[in-house]
Amino acid sequence: MIAAKPFLKWAGGKSQLLTQLEPLFPKKFNGYHEPFVGSAAIFFHLYNLKRGGIFPTTVMKRVGLTDSNDELINCYKVIKSQVEDLIERLAKHAKKHSEDYYYRVRGWLPKDLASLERAARFIYLNKTCFNGLYRVNSKGQFNVPMGNYANPKILDADELRTASRALRGVSVVTTAYETVLQRVEKGDFIYFDPPYHPRSRTASFTSYTEDAFDRQHQFELSEVFKKLDEKGCFVMLSNSWTPDVLDLYRYRGYHFIAVHASRLINSNADRRGKIKELVVLNYDPERTEGGSMMSGKRKAVASGHDLRDKVVAIGEKLQLDVRTEVKVGKRLWGASRLIDVVMTDKTTRKALGIECKFQEGGGSVDEKIPTTINDIGAWPISGIVVLGGKGFREHLRSYLYSTGKAVDIEDLDDWLKLYFGL
């Protein structure tokens, strides 16, 4: 049995990481969606696992592979429906390959070609260009120079036929990643492999498509991740391990996993090597053993310390000045009166004090919160109580919310945006 595998060389492709990523997959899910399909290494691996009986037959009955790169998607469509014709065209490219021929084919405009010729051109250039890099200029024209290969393998007919079988029944569409929100159902598995956030200001190569994937796009992707989480989906995302990316996902309590990849897309061989990369999960992979489904909800706050850390992370994500254990005087018996967290708008200097109250099981914390709210009235700044945990009695929780002085941790982000006018 020939295993399906990527037929393209691809910058950031995940083939080398499969042994690290496989233990992180949910053990049972419904549909599968890959909105930045690239070389489709994850899809092909999941297909092989299902074919080998690792996954139940109910897994992956709906599969959607999408990308904004129309040349790439056209290639998948042709392999899916015209693989024998494609093999014939690639054999002709392989026979004619030379430096002059490479640059002549590179100069062809995709808009002037039929879909079959476009796909053959795409694979030929991918197999013979420098490092398999896909890059286009501002006009959308492929501009990577030819690689220095003695005998590039342009055609692997068995590989293409196996890929074609794997793609049967799969939806392959050119579209923006966020449209996945319109297609998913609860219990689906979504894997995001976006253009990585640069590790430094000079680390990123130019465009994968005409439109660069900048910091704003990374933020918008994190919002789509959150919405899929709220829909009850399993969501997995790969990206660079950088402070900016960590900040986008840290405050929501998602799982961070480090993996290590060898990156080869660099003209300087001395700068290639193992790089720490980030995997973000909205589910606990350890708790999906035995096929048990996770709800897809974010990791709950587990303690008072967790609650305060999450409050701090939300404030920092909103770019507020955040301080902890701020002294505001003394109590009647002489002990220092401390505010758990104080947030201040760096521009307006508007401030807010926050008391963090956590209760998981039965206890008396909720009975003391009305007194805490009264204490807040003596602070020199406005204040609220943030609640975390499932142990608060529902009628008291409702009363506390009605006072306008208590907020659930999951609502704090939106509440702070309104309060500070962000």
Does any domain span residue 233? Answer: yes
Cα 352 to Cα 383: distance, rounded to the nearest angstrom:
5
Percent of the chain with pLDDT over 90: 54
Mean pLDDT of the chain: 86
Does any domain span residue 107? Answer: yes
Q: What share of the chain is helix, strand, coil (3-state, %, to 5)?
A: 40, 20, 40
> Which residue do the tokens 């660079």 mark?
240
Gyration radius (Cα) of the chain, Å: 26
Dihedral angle of Cα 152, 15, 160, 4, to the nearest 10 degrees: 150
Q: Give yes or no: residues 268 and 398 share one domain.
A: no
Cα 299 to Cα 249: distance, rounded to the nearest angstrom:
12
Does any domain span residue 271? Answer: yes
**C-alpha dist (Å) from residue 392 to 62, 74, 311:** 40, 54, 18
Cα 129 to Cα 148: distance, rounded to the nearest angstrom:
8
- H/E stretch holding 350 reads none
pLDDT tens column, 104-162: 999 999 999 999 999 999 999 999 999 888 888 888 889 999 999 989 999 999 999 99
Single residue among 265, 291, 317 that ends a domain in this structure: 291
Asked if 151 and 33 touch (Cβ cutoff 8 Å), the reply is no
Q: Give yes or no: residues 50 and 159 share one domain.
A: yes
Does any domain span residue 5? Answer: no
Does any domain span residue 8? Answer: no
Q: Give yes or no: residues 406 and 285 share one domain.
A: no
pLDDT tens column, 175-233: 999 999 999 999 999 999 999 998 765 555 444 555 578 889 999 999 999 999 999 99
- For residue 64, the cross-strand partners are 33, 171
Q: Give yes or no: residues 280 and 322 share one domain.
A: no
Does any domain span residue 3? Answer: no
**C-alpha dist (Å) from residue 234 to 21, 191, 224:** 14, 9, 13
Single residue among 268, 291, 314 that ends a domain in this structure: 291
Does any domain span residue 4? Answer: no
Does any domain span residue 375? Answer: yes
**C-alpha dist (Å) from residue 65 to 16, 37, 44, 107, 152:** 20, 6, 11, 28, 28
Q: Residue 408: which domain range?
A: 304-420
Cα 54 to Cα 229: distance, rounded to the nearest angstrom:
25
Question: Please, what's the b/e burial string for 181-216 (b: 16 or more CB within 10 A of its CB; e: otherwise)?
Answer: eebbeebbbbbbbbbbbebeeeebeebbbeeebeee
Q: What is the CATH number of the domain that holds 319?
A: 3.40.1350.10
Q: Give yes or no: residues 255 and 397 share one domain.
A: no
Single residue among 248, 263, 291 that ends a domain in this structure: 291
What tokens does 25 get? 């997959």
Question: How many domains is the chain partitioned into structurally?
Answer: 2
Say what the pTM is: 0.68
Question: Please, what's the b/e burial string for 377-415 (b: 16 or more CB within 10 A of its CB; e: otherwise)?
Answer: eebeeebbbbbbbeebeeeebeebeeeebbbebbebbee
Q: Give yes or no: residues 309 and 247 share one domain.
A: no
Cα 116 to Cα 125: distance, rounded to the nearest angstrom:
14
Amino acid at 376: I
pLDDT beyond 90 at 238: yes
pLDDT tens column, 250-297: 766 788 899 998 765 454 444 455 788 999 999 988 765 433 333 334
Q: Give yes or no: residues 283 and 321 share one domain.
A: no
Q: Give yes or no: residues 287 and 310 share one domain.
A: no
Question: Please, what's the b/e burial string for 93-126 (b: 16 or more CB within 10 A of its CB; e: otherwise)?
Answer: beeebeeeebeebbeeebeeeeebebbbbbbbbb
What pLDDT score was predicted for residue 213? 83
Q: Give yes or no: residues 91 and 192 share one domain.
A: yes
Dmax (CA) for the chain in angstroms is 91
Q: Give yes or no: residues 379 and 259 share one domain.
A: no
Asked if 344 and 351 touch (Cβ cutoff 8 Å), the reply is yes
Q: Give yes or no: residues 72 and 200 share one domain.
A: yes
pLDDT tens column, 60-82: 999 999 999 999 999 999 999 99
Q: Give yes or no: residues 252 and 325 share one domain.
A: no
Q: What is the CATH number of the domain that holds 131?
A: 3.40.50.150
